[in-house]
């Protein structure tokens, strides 16, 4: 590919890299010999090849801009058991796309991404994964001064909707070759199809819908659903101003920069459709010289609402233990009750599954008892509910307490305890029941997350 799509870069020198956390399960999945892993390797000091920073574009809060990896570098590709992975450093120094930024990251922001990606993987949601957090000996100034850190991120692909937008706008002559490369790398079963561009769009849309429906299943709010943060492989990534919803609120926003609620919990379906429209536009030039017409891609896009709604109601039936199709009216009644009551989203389904689990007067109300009765008439299959409803999520206050403990006292005990609970988030444990407690409502009303760039 033409060098317009990336730049060769060099990670900044780190004199005393210290491995804070290391994901041995991921290391095993990648077939990496942990005995050979050092802080020098994980911080990009010992290189096997020359890293690159990618160029891309994106609609950020609705406005198109040209971007790139401002604080990230792909070290290279790792192949294991026929699977190919990108290994990327985040926070490793300036690149040609850094603008006025320093390309660095704070230790709290990299520990946060490690924890959230770890949780999402164990919640069985398609996601980037974090191999390690390496602390540097440099102080980084953001909202406060903290030690610097580098995250080692693993993904099937760092190609995003915004990469296609970049190629279509800046290197249109390479759009076909680039698309062919992406299909061959990530969707090779489409190679021999004469409708491959339509089918490619369809599969990207399908993967993205499944990803966002899974977010809604566990109450996750991504917080920055710009087109440059949407993977063509349906992987959740860029855990900046993300959070988990405690008390049900479709308008829930925790990001400091989302002033108008564009990426609120209840808007994520709508924004995914908007982002897919932009992705489709970037593919339109491919339709002029092929057997595919843009109307065919548009027809796929027109089916988005039906596909999303079908997957969403299937997911909600599973959360309610409903084994048969239909019962949308019951799902809607549960959602109406959640909207009115503002009950804890995660714990409500656990209470339906096992009444008396939580000592909360909201679950003793006549309204909730009516909900229990209606759900019991059609659902409450315990096995189905246990697969769909996590016992534990990374509740915002627990995450903040763990990060604060390390930043202020160099103590990772709360962080590791949270990792331990999130290793098996679908298994109840009396010894860790305190991790199920929601925060005071005042906490969520004031809680704010940041991009930390």
CA 402 to CA 412: how far, in whole Å? Answer: 7
Q: Tell me the two tokens of residue 230.
A: 């949407």
The closest of 83, 85, 93, 97 to 5, measured between CA atoms, is 97
Clarify whether 202 is annotated catalytic. Answer: no
- At 213 the three-state DSSP class reads helix
Single out the catalytic residue among 202, 214, 228, 238: 228
CA distance 339 to 346: 14
Contact predicate 237/220, CB 8 Å? no
* Pairwise CA distance, residues 214 & 312, whole Å: 9
- CA atoms of 370 and 392, how far apart (whole Å): 26
> Do 309 and 316 meet the contact criterion of CB atoms below 8 Å apart?
no
Residues in Cβ contact with 398 at an 8 Å cutoff, skipping those fewer than 6 apart: 414, 418, 435
Tell me if 92 sits within 8 A of 69, measured CB to CB.
no
Contact 151, 238 (CB under 8 A): no
Number of neighbouring beta carbons within 10 Å of residue 343: 22
Candidates 47, 44, 40; CA nearest to 16 is 40
Short-list 101, 43, 97, 102, CA closest to 75: 43
Beta-strand (E) ranges in 23-82? 52-60, 63-68, 72-80
Of the candidates 199, 195, 201, 173, the residue with the CA atom closest to the CA atom of residue 292: 195
Torsion of CA 184, 205, 89, 416, to 10 degrees: -130
Distance in angstroms (rounded) separating the CA atoms of residues 320 and 285: 44
Q: Tell me how far apart the alpha carbons of residues 90 and 417 are, in angstroms, rounded to a whole number.
A: 24
Radius of gyration of the chain (CA): 22
| Catalytically annotated residues | 228
């Amino acid at each position: 590919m033409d060098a317009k799509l990336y730049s060769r870069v060099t990670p900044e020198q780190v004199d005393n890299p210290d491995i804070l956390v290391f994901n041995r399960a991921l290391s095993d999945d990648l077939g990496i010999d942990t005995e050979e892993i050092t802080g020098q390797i994980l911080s990009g000091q010992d290189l096997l090849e020359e890293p690159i920073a990618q160029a891309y574009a994106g609609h950020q809060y609705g406005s198109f801009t040209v971007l790139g990896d401002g604080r990230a570098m792909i070290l290279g590709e790792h192949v294991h058991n026929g699977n190919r992975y990108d290994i990327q450093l985040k926070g490793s120094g300036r690149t040609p796309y850094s603008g006025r930024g320093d390309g660095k990251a704070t230790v709290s922001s990299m520990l946060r991404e490690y924890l959230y990606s770890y949780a999402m993987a164990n919640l069985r949601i398609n996601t980037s994964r974090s191999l390690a957090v390496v602390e540097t000996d440099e102080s980084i100034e953001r909202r406060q001064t903290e030690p610097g850190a580098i995250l080692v991120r693993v993904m099937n692909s760092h190609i995003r909707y915004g990469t296609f937008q970049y190629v279509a706008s800046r290197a249109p002559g390479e759009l076909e070759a680039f698309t062919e490369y992406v299909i061959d790398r990530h969707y090779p079963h489409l190679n021999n199809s004469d409708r491959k561009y339509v089918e490619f769009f369809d599969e990207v849309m399908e993967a993205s819908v499944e990803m966002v429906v899974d977010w809604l299943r566990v109450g996750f709010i991504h917080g920055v659903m710009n087109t440059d943060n949407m993977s063509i492989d349906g992987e959740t990534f860029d855990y900046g101003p993300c959070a988990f919803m405690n008390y049900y609120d479709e308008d829930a926003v925790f990001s400091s920069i989302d002033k108008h609620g564009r990426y609120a919990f209840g808007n994520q379906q709508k924004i995914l459709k908007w982002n897919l429209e932009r992705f489709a536009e970037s593919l339109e030039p491919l339709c002029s010289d092929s057997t595919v017409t843009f109307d065919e891609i548009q027809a796929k896009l027109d089916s988005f609402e039906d596909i999303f709604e079908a997957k969403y109601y299937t997911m909600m039936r599973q959360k309610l233990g409903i084994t048969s199709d239909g019962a949308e009216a019951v799902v809607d009644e549960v959602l109406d009750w959640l909207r009115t009551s503002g009950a804890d989203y995660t714990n409500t389904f656990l209470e339906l599954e096992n009444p008396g689990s939580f000592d909360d007067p909201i679950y003793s109300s006549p309204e909730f008892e009516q909900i229990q009765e209606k759900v019991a008439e059609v659902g409450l299959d315990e096995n189905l509910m246990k697969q769909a409803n996590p016992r534990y999520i990374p509740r915002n206050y627990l995450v903040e307490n763990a990060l604060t403990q390390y930043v202020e006292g160099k103590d990772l005990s709360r962080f590791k305890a949270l990792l331990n609970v999130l290793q098996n988030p679908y298994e109840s444990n009396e010894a860790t029941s305190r991790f199920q407690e929601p925060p005071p409502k005042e906490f969520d009303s004031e809680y704010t997350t940041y991009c930390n760039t």
